[in-house]
Structures are given as structure tokens and as C-alpha cells.
Amino acid sequence: MQLLIYAQDLASIGEVISGSKEEKILVNKLKSFLEEKADEVVIHNVPVMLWKEKHVSLNIVVDGIRNISTLALPYTTSTHIVGDLVYIRNFGFSKIRKNVEGKIILTEWAKDPDEAEHQYLEALEKGALAIILYDRYPSRFRRIVVKGTYGYSYNTYTTTPIPAFSIKREDGIALAKEASNKELKAELTVEVNVQNASGQIVEAIFNGKKENEKIYITAHHDHWLTGFTDNILGVASLVNIANEATNWKLAREMRILSFTAEEGGSPGFTEWYWLYGSRWYLENVVLKHRIENEIYAVINWDAVGKGKLTIAASGYSFRHLIRKVTEGFKVRIEFDSSYFDSYTFSKIGIPSATINTMNDLVDIYHTDKDTINIIDKNVVLGAYNVFRKIIAALARNSAEIRMKHERVFLKSTLRKAGIDVNIGYLAIPPRKILTLYKPIHRGNYREEYNPFETHFLPEVITLLKYSKVLEKAINSILEGNVQKALRLLAKIPSEIMLPGDEKSLPIAPIKSIITFLKRGHRNLAVKILENSVEMLRRNAMKNLREILKELSQ
Ligand SMILES: [Zn+2]
């Protein structure tokens, strides 16, 4: 398979961090290949924050010194620490009794690898000196970005005050056992290079009949550790498409883009550290030259390796087209996700999609086990065929995304939510409806960690959905079934956050209601619930009016 041959060649470069010399090697390879195939190749230099581990060591001091191999999590800064090692079970998501202040915490990595971020913040708040995470899966190291504050703002800059480390599961379990029998001291040394550097975006242009309808085919080339599925295969699939496209007569202009700084590299430890390269491109190329309306669609490849093939796509119309084009293939189609570069474009209303198998890669995600050995070749080949089919339909055969579906979708969604507004007379541009899909975080950042989910019009639809669950809880209490009410309430967050905008949408004071119910104050609980339902309905309608007004302007 040609795709795998390209990928193996790119894999030989090793870890590719945005702004590093390895990135330049990869970019040069890609550039010289694309120059042979495309009409024009442009390199965009992107100012990034380079973070690179130079040296890291972990010594255990107990009857002599023992060395354990370890990796630093980005963006740990250079430091030297000696302290008592304490093992805490499930640190970050269970109540702890042990004092960890001034100690080095050893714990198991959370089930969702990205939750390391939450474990880190807990360690920081409790005054720990450092945190060492051992993996949930054997014999691997992992890198996940940790940061110093709760939140996902695009412009809040923070440092990483204490260091964080990844060690192998086997070493972690042995150390945990030892630490429960005797006092262990750990000595940690990290030397990292953090500096301003230049990352690169490669853009190859393939002229087509309509240059004001551009099809973007994208992937990111920076990767932590071995990164075969995340995202060397993505870059290889771009190369393969370029190769095939030389024989295509293009109905639309086609642009192949390889992004830098998807995994990190946003200058100054930005809270929303991922997708920085595509955000830079959007601002400094697309919006600067006002070509956003010329981008017909974006098709992105990220994290494909094994398991179920998924396409995350923005907008009913684009999902509809993808469903039609991929008929006969086993593909799950869902809303676009804020964890992919496609989101950068769908956020401003451009139909965008990412092909991925992200949900089935947890074991190897950002580890040194993300190599060619773990992939399911049939899945990767199937993904490539689907990828090519969608691209060919749009770039070669000018299949149309029928944007009029968006208004129908908006209307029917509102109707299903029980809202009877006449939006027919409002001249809402369909692309603006795509901007109503937003990432949400269930609950307060500090109290819980949840991966972002994409909801349509969360300021209205999600609030109304929760108001209905609260009503059910009221009815259960009135019927005397408090247990059922408690079960319903357990599923509701006290608020939802809109990450990026950093807006909080209050739902109900769930903790107090549960306490009142458990102590037998049923009338009080019902009263608060009724008030919350009223507030949710009022807020939802107020938000809807504001959003519709803004959309029709
Ligand atoms: Zn990725």
C-alpha cells in the first residue's frame, strides 16, 4: 500500500514538535514532493512556542539510588526537585485523606488520557511538588499537555508551575507497592528547551475550473512521540491524494494543507493550546485575504488507525452529502468536534469534516506505542477510500452541498424543542447556522473533568433539555418516588460551560437540591426545582431571541 510506504518514510524522522528541526525535515520532504504535483506550493511561517525535552531523570533514593526511566509532560519547565514520594490511588477523582503538600505524587493515569490535565491541576492546588503518572496500559510512555489554570480561553497565558512525568505501568505499580511499605525519596531532574520558534504550514494549490470554490484537504504534521496514527498517516494521505490528483480534471480548486502546532505550540502557554496552527492560518491567511466564502468545504484527516471509522462534520447539509457519498461504507457520522483542525473552520461557518477513529485509540494515543504495528490495515485503507471518495465528489465532480437544509434543520430542531417561532421571515445566511454548533463542557471545570461535546444551539436546546429532566424529577418527588428523582438529578450538571467563550450557563443548584431531598425537605427541593425550570426556560428564550437577532443582521 503506497500510503503506508509514505507513512513509514515520514515515521523515520521521529517525534515532530512544532518549531523543531525535525519539523523542518518533514516539511522539506513534503514540500519537494508536492512541488512535483501541484501548481504552486507556499510555506507559511508560524510563530510558535517550541517545547522540547533535553534531559529528564527520576532517581529513587532507598538503600542507594535507583534510576527509573521517565518522560516529562509538556509544558513542564526545567527544574530539580527532591522530595518524599507518596502513592495516592485514583488521584484527581477521589477524596484523599493523605496530605500531599510538599510531596511528590505517584498515581495511575486517568481512564481518559486527557484527564491528566485535571489530575495535574489537583496536584497543583493541593501544594504537591510534582506529579508522576504511570500508564493504564503496559510498557509505554505518553505525553499529554498539562497547564496551570482551569479554563480554555484563547488568550489567557499561564505557566506550568510544577513538573509532571510519565512512567511505565510496570515501574509505577512496583513503586506504589514499595511506597506503601517504606518511606521513599525521589529526585527529579528536567531540562527542557522552551523558546520562540517558527513552525511551518505547507499549502499546495491545484488549479481547478472554479477558483472561487476551494476544497481544502488538511492534516496536521506535528506529533508527540511516534505519532503514526496521530498524525503521520494523515500527512501520508495528503501525499497520496496529491499523487492521484495529477490525473484528475478538477471542477473546483483544490488546496492541500499540512498544519503545524495542532498538538500544542500556541505561544505563551495559551489555555486552549491545541489547533493553534489552523487558527493562525484562519486569521492570517483566510480572514486577512477575505477568502472565507471561497472555501467550499474542508476535509481533514486526524487520528485514524483502528476501530470504528467516524466522520465528524459540521452542518446538516454537509453531513447529508457525506452520508450519500459514503453509502455502502461502514461510517459513523456525527457533529464536528472541537478536538480537530476542522473545527477552526466550522466555527466560522465553513462546512468542515474530520475523518478519524479517535475513540478507539485511547491505549496508544500520544504514546510511543503509536506505531505501524498497532494499525488495522483494512480500517486505514477503508478510511483512505472514504476520504478520497468525498474529496473526488467535491473537487472532481462538483457535488453540491445544499445549504438550504440548514434552515430546515434549525426550524425542525426548534419545533422539536417545543419552540414555536416563525424564523421564515428572518434572512439567516445558512453558513451562520453552522456557527451555532458549539463545544460544551458538562459541569464546572474545577469540579469535574469531561471531554467537550458538540451541541447544536446549547444556549437554547441543551437548556430546554435539562429543564425537561428537572420537570421529571419534580413529578417523581410529587409521586413520592424520591429515589427516582435522585437518579435523574445525578445526571445533571449544575452548569454547563462554553469553552473558548468561557461562558457559564447555569442549570440548577443540584448539590443543594440533592442534600434537601436526602434530608427529607421535599417541599423546599420542589420549590428550587420549579424556580430552576422557570429560569432555564426564560434564559433559553432570551438567548434564542438574541441569537436570531444577531444571525439576521
Ligand atoms: Zn491529532
The domain spanning residue 100 has which CATH number? 3.50.30.30
Out of 147, 176, 192, pick the residue that ends a domain: 192
The predicted-structure confidence for 464-475, as pLDDT tens digits, reads as follows: 999 999 999 999
Q: What is the pLDDT of residue 430?
A: 93
Residues with CB under 5 A from ligand 1 (ion): 230-231, 302
Q: Where is 548: in which H helix or E strand?
A: helix 522-551
Out of 137, 158, 192, pick the residue that ends a domain: 192
Q: What is the mean pLDDT of residues 456-481?
A: 97
Q: What is the pLDDT of residue 188?
A: 97
Out of 192, 215, 248, pick the residue that ends a domain: 192
Per-residue burial over 177-186, b if 16 or more Cβ lie within 10 Å, else e, is: ebbeeeebeb
Q: For residue 184, tell me if it sits in a domain.
A: yes
**Cα–Cα nearest to 130, from 180, 51, 57:** 57
Confidence of residue 29 (pLDDT cuts 50, 70, 90): very high
How far away, in angstroms, is 98 Cα from ligand 1 center? 37
Q: What is the mean pLDDT of residues 505-511?
A: 97
Q: What is the pLDDT of residue 422?
A: 74
Confidence of residue 424 (pLDDT cuts 50, 70, 90): low
Q: For residue 234, tell me if it sits in a domain.
A: no
How far away, in angstroms, is 476 Cα from ligand 1 center? 45
How far away, in angstroms, is 220 Cα from ligand 1 center? 7
Cell readout for 211 is: 477558483
Q: For residue 447, tell me if it sits in a domain.
A: yes
Q: For residue 36, tell me if it sits in a domain.
A: no
Q: What is the pLDDT of residue 421?
A: 76
Q: What is the pLDDT of residue 373?
A: 98
How far away, in angstroms, is 433 Cα from ligand 1 center? 27
How far away, in angstroms, is 162 Cα from ligand 1 center? 26
How far away, in angstroms, is 243 Cα from ligand 1 center? 23
Q: For residue 243, tell me if it sits in a domain.
A: no
Q: For residue 253, tell me if it sits in a domain.
A: no
> What does the alpha-carbon distance between residue 417 and residue 467 come to, in Å, rounded to a whole number?
11
The predicted-structure confidence for 366-390, as pLDDT tens digits, reads as follows: 999 999 999 999 999 999 999 999 9
> What does the alpha-carbon distance between residue 428 and residue 93 come to, in Å, rounded to a whole number?
44
Q: Is the pLDDT of residue 427 over 80?
A: no
Q: Is the pLDDT of residue 498 over 90?
A: yes
Q: What is the pLDDT of residue 64?
A: 87
More confident call, 4 vs 97: 4
Contact partners, residue 52, CB within 8 Å, separation at least 6 = 17, 20, 192, 193, 194
**Helix, strand, coil fractions of the chain, as percent rounded to 5:** 40, 25, 35
Q: What is the pLDDT of residue 517?
A: 96
Q: What is the mean pLDDT of residues 404-432?
A: 85
Q: What is the pLDDT of residue 425?
A: 60
The predicted-structure confidence for 163-190, as pLDDT tens digits, reads as follows: 999 999 999 999 999 998 889 999 999 9
Q: What is the mean pLDDT of residues 211-239?
A: 98
Q: What's the residue count for the chain?
A: 553
Least confident of 234-243, 277-286, 299-308, 419-428: 419-428
How far away, in angstroms, is 326 Cα from ligand 1 center? 23
What percentage of residues in the chain have a pLDDT greater than 90?
Answer: 91
How far away, in angstroms, is 350 Cα from ligand 1 center? 20
Q: Is the pLDDT of residue 446 over 70?
A: yes
How far away, in angstroms, is 531 Cα from ligand 1 center? 43
Least confident of 154-168, 251-265, 412-426, 494-508: 412-426
pTM of the model: 0.96
Q: What is the pLDDT of residue 426?
A: 66
Domain that holds residue 165: 53-192
Q: For residue 454, tell me if it sits in a domain.
A: yes
> What does the alpha-carbon distance between residue 529 and residue 219 come to, in Å, rounded to a whole number?
47
Q: What is the mean pLDDT of residues 476-503?
A: 96
Q: What is the mean pLDDT of residues 85-104?
A: 90
pLDDT, the chain, mean: 95
Question: How many domains does the chain fold into?
Answer: 2
Q: For residue 133, tell me if it sits in a domain.
A: yes
How far away, in angstroms, is 480 Cα from ligand 1 center? 50
